[in-house]
Amino acid sequence: MRPYYYYWERRIFNAITKMIIRALSANKVIFMRTEKPTFVKLTASYAHPEVTCHPTMDEFRGQLEKFTRVILDSTKQFGRWWDGFCKIFDERNNEETSEKYIPYTFYEDVMVNPVITQLNYEVTQQRITVSDKFSFVSKKLYQEAPFVLPIRQERADQDPENIDKESSD
């Protein structure tokens, strides 16, 4: 029976590897996309005296990282055969977090695959590029706000009747 289980375990491993490669490739294409519809939508609002962006930079980076990490972590859901016993390892409870996990999965083997490692690196680089662009836009919004503030402050210091006359001219 051992050759039978090795055969099927290999087939499962190849299918998981192919799934991860396709998902990371799709991720890479999404991050590189420049035409509409775009991957990221940034909204900014001005509430005197500051400009707020949604999502925030920390939220944005976290979501981009999670977007890729979930793909890689999905391999932890596929348990390995218990050699010599013809069954898959049972789920166990993690002592620290009380979450269920499968002790022996394909995760370690998939992560050392050179194609997946290279794709993960490329996706990480694209994610950093997207994050930097987002950061640049956010900084520009924050830099533009101080130019507006002194003008509004000067008007606030003036007599309200004069402001109304200036705006009606």
Reference 102, options 122, 77, 65; nearest CA is 77
Would residue 168 count as lying in a domain?
Answer: no
Residue 128 lies in a domain: yes
Select the more confidently predicted residue: 150 or 19. Answer: 19
Q: What is the Cα–Cα distance from 11 to 8, expressed in whole angstroms?
A: 5
Residue 164 lies in a domain: no
Structural domains counted in the chain: 1
Query: Domain range spanning residue 62?
Result: 2-156
- 169: confidence class by pLDDT, cuts 50, 70, 90: very low
Q: What is the pLDDT of residue 71?
A: 92
In a domain, 106, yes or no: yes
Q: Which three-class secondary structure state does DSSP give residue 50?
A: strand
Query: Does residue 169 lie within any of the structural domains?
Result: no
Position 75 in a domain: yes
* Element housing 10 (H / E): helix 2-32
**161 inside domain:** no
Confidence (pLDDT) at 152: 44
Whether residue 22 is contained in a domain is answered as: yes
pTM for this predicted structure: 0.68
pLDDT per residue over 73-126, tens digit each?
Answer: 998 888 777 665 666 667 777 778 877 777 778 888 899 999 999 999 999 998
Coil, helix or strand for 1?
A: coil
- Return the bridge partners of 100, or none: 93
Q: State the burial class of residue 119 (Cβ atoms within 10 Å of its Cβ: 0-12, 13-18, 19+).
A: buried
